Amino acid sequence: MPRTLVVAPNWIGDALMAQPLLARLREHATVDVVAPEWVAPVLRRMPEVENVIAAPFRHGPLQLRERWRIGRALRARGYEQAFVLPNTWKSALVPFFARIPQRIGYRGEARHLLLNRIYEKADASKAGDSMPEHYARLAGPVGTLPQTRLRSDVQQIDAVLKKFSLEKPYAVLCPGAEYGPAKRWPYFAALSAKMKIPVLLLGSAKDLEACQGIGGLNLAGKTTLDEAIDLVAGAGFVVSNDSGLMHVAAALGRPQVALFGSSSPEHTPPQSAASRVLWLHIECSPCFQRECPLGHFRCMKEISVDMVLDQINTL
């Protein structure tokens, strides 16, 4: 079977929204993925992916020598094509150094010499085009997209519950959103106080501030990504902002309430029938800003705790 290489996005949520593309590619080829180390655990749980090459890339630095080393090491695998999903110039270097004949991606940072099949991208945030459709379009007409899905079995869930001395049932709250405070619902503490089952707070170390003062067991920054995935997989339900863990919960099929304010569920949707979205879509939303540019933060403040509880009760 032909071999295809995919250069993954640099965010967990984006990697999950690229999964429909990976599923399409897997129909005709073996799919390997190059991904930053912090995204690699998610890709390893995707059934479409044969191999994950975890790269020690960081936000910002070019790391030219490291990209050349990885590209040279991949030459012997005989990839026929590569799909470069980030828009940066440096993200196209590994397939170029690997001498992969077809190097495919959207027009980005002056990389017309690195890619040889370049697509023009729509402004997905304004055209109503979702990110899953945006990625999948690189493989042809969109049509109906396959569901995102991650692997997690009972043994994995039981092992992580034992490690943290936890028992079911429990709810998972995800108060963080790395993009910025405009994505963070301000009433998680009040919601936690009304929960009738134990509450776990999950997120990265960067979410510690967002989790402060919220009742429940705060595991933000205390788990690996793999452990967080298995804790989400065992949850009775999840409440999250528009974040990477929102997409993880959707891919695991967990009952979920997803809270949107400055961003749009039409652009970055949780891809699951078990998800319920709360988005007021007020006149200034979505603005896609890191902080509320008008100062009132109505898009999130006007989502009440009772509105969230009503959605939980429908799950």
Q: How confident is the model at residue 123 (pLDDT cuts 50, 70, 90)?
A: low
**What are the tens digits of pLDDT across the range 71-106?**
999 999 999 999 999 999 999 999 999 999 999 999
Domain ranges of the chain: 3-139, 154-314
Structure tokens that stand for 66 in this block: 């490291």
* Backbone φ, ψ for residue 252 (5° rounding): -90, -5
Could you tell me the two tokens for 188? Answer: 């998680």
As a whole number of angstroms, the distance between CA 154 and CA 164 comes to: 16
Asked which of 41-45, 128-132, 153-157, 250-254 is least confident by mean pLDDT, the reply is 128-132
Mean residue pLDDT of the chain comes to 94
C-alpha span between 262 and 148 (Å, rounded): 24
In this predicted structure, what is the pLDDT of residue 124? 47
Q: Give one word for 78, left, alpha or beta, with left for phi > 0 and alpha for psi -120 to 50.
A: left
Mean pLDDT, rounded, for 165-179: 95
Under 8 Å between Cβ of 48 and 72: no
Q: What is the mean pLDDT of residues 5-20?
A: 97
142 pLDDT tier (thresholds 50, 70, 90): confident
State the CB neighbour count (10 A cutoff) for residue 95: 29
Question: Could you give the CA distance from residue 175 to residue 304 in angstroms, rounded to a whole number?
Answer: 15
In tens, the pLDDT along 144-170 reads 898 899 999 999 999 999 999 999 999
Whether domain 154-314 has CATH 3.40.50.2000: the reply is yes
Instruction: Please say if the pLDDT value at position 126 is more than 80.
Output: no
Domains 3-139 and 154-314 agree in fold: yes
* Superfamily covering domain 3-139: Glycogen Phosphorylase B; (3.40.50.2000)
